[in-house]
C-alpha cells in the first residue's frame, strides 16, 4: 500500500469544540470529532429512545473520522470528478456519511434497544483553500467573514420546507416552536441524500458548526455578536455560546465547533506539476 503525503493544516487553522448536556436533558446525545491535521470537523446530533441517540451519533462520528483518515492515507485528494464536478475530498466525505448511514440503519434493525434511532450530521473538510461541507438534517454550519455572518447550510426540516414554499418568512420561522421535525436523518432509511457544497475560504474566515440545541436557543444576531466579540479566542467564544444557550433555557444538548482560517493552505503540488509551473 502506497502512502500519499498530504499537507497538514494544523498551523493553518485554529479550532475549538465544546458540548454540553444543557439544562433539561438527562444525558448528551451529541457527538463531536475533529482532526486538525486533515482539517476535518464532524458534529452529530442523535435522536432515539433510551441511549439510542447517543449510539447513533457516536457511530456516525467514528465512522466518518475513520473513513476520511483512511482515504487520505491511500488516495490522492487532488482530482475533481468530471460528472458531478465535486472535488475528491467532497466525494470522500459524502461516501463516509453514506457508510455511516448504513451502519446506523443496520444497528437499529438488529438491536431492539436501538430501534428508531438516527442522527443529524454536519461535517466539513478543509482542502486546497476551500471548505467542503456535507450535512443531513438541521445541524448547521455558519461563516463569519469580515463581519458578515451567513448560514451556509439549509435545514432539512418541515419548517424549512414551509419557508421555502412561502408559508413562513424566515423571521416567523425563527420564532416558531415547531423546529424539530427533520425530513432527513442518518439511519432512518437504508439510503439518504447527503447535501454537499464547496466554498472558497480566505484567512480570517471563522466557521461555526452547531447542533440545534444552540441555534434554537440563540438568535443568529447573538451568534454573530458573540463571534465578532470573542472570535480572537475560540475557546472563550465557544464557552460563551454554550452559556448563552443555557441562559435561554438549555432545552436540548448544546454543541459548538469553531474553526478559524489562519493562513492559506493550497494543495501540495506533485513533482511533475512543479516542473510544469517552472517551465511556464
Cα dihedral across residues 210, 216, 220, 223: positive or negative: negative
Residue pLDDT, tens place only, 245-277: 999 999 999 999 999 999 999 987 644 444 454
Residue pLDDT, tens place only, 169-223: 776 666 666 666 899 999 999 999 999 999 999 999 999 999 999 999 999 999 9
pTM above 0.85, yes or no: yes
Burial code (b: 16+ CB inside 10 Å, e: under 16) for 113-130 equals ebeebbbbbbbbbbbbeb
Cα(93)–Cα(11) distance, integer angstroms: 22
Residue 2 has pLDDT above 70, yes or no: no
CATH no. of 13-156+184-279: 3.60.40.10
Strand boundaries in the chain, DSSP class E: 13-20, 30-35, 40-47, 118-127, 130-136, 140-145, 148-151, 195-200, 206-210, 254-261
Hey, which residues does 127 pair with through a beta bridge? 130
How distant, in Å, are the alpha carbons of 38, 161, 217 from that of 169?
38, 11, 19
Lowest-pLDDT range of 2-6, 54-58, 160-164: 2-6
Listed in sequence order, the residues at least 6 apart from 183 whose beta carbon sits closer than 8 Å to its beta carbon are 156, 157, 158, 161
Nearest to 252, CA basis, from 35, 39, 20, 83: 20
CB atoms within 10 A of CB 17: 19
Cα(106)–Cα(114) distance, integer angstroms: 10
Amino acid at each position: 500500500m502506497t502512502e500519499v503525503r498530504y499537507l497538514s493544516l494544523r498551523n493553518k487553522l485554529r479550532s475549538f469544540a465544546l458540548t454540553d448536556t444543557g439544562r433539561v436533558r438527562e444525558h448528551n446525545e451529541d457527538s463531536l470529532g475533529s482532526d486538525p491535521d486533515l482539517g476535518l470537523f464532524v458534529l452529530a446530533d442523535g435522536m432515539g429512545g433510551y441511549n439510542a441517540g447517543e449510539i447513533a451519533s457516536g457511530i456516525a462520528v467514528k465512522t466518518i473520522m475513520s473513513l476520511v483518515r483512511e482515504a487520505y492515507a491511500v488516495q490522492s485528494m487532488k482530482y475533481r470528478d468530471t460528472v458531478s464536478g465535486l472535488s475528491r475530498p467532497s466525494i470522500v466525505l459524502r461516501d463516509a456519511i453514506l457508510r455511516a448511514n448504513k451502519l446506523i440503519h443496520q444497528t437499529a434493525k438488529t438491536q431492539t434497544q436501538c430501534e428508531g434511532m438516527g442522527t443529524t450530521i454536519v461535517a466539513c473538510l478543509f482542502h486546497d483553500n476551500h471548505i467542503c461541507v456535507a450535512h443531513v438534517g438541521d445541524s448547521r454550519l455558519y461563516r463569519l467573514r469580515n463581519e458578515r455572518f451567513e448560514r451556509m447550510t439549509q435545514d432539512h426540516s418541515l419548517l424549512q420546507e414551509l419557508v421555502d414554499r412561502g408559508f413562513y418568512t424566515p423571521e416567523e420561522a425563527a420564532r416558531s416552536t415547531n423546529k424539530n421535525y427533520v425530513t432527513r436523518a442518518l439511519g432512518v432509511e437504508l439510503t439518504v441524500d447527503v447535501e454537499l457544497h464547496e466554498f472558497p475560504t480566505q484567512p480570517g474566515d471563522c466557521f461555526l458548526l452547531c447542533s440545534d440545541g444552540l441555534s434554537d436557543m440563540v438568535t443568529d444576531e447573538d451568534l454573530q455578536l458573540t463571534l465578532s466579540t470573542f472570535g480572537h479566542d475560540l475557546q472563550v467564544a465557544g464557552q460563551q455560546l454554550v452559556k448563552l444557550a443555557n441562559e435561554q433555557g438549555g432545552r436540548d444538548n448544546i454543541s459548538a465547533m469553531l474553526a478559524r482560517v489562519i493562513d492559506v493552505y493550497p494543495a501540495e503540488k506533485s513533482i511533475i506539476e512543479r516542473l510544469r509551473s517552472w517551465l511556464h
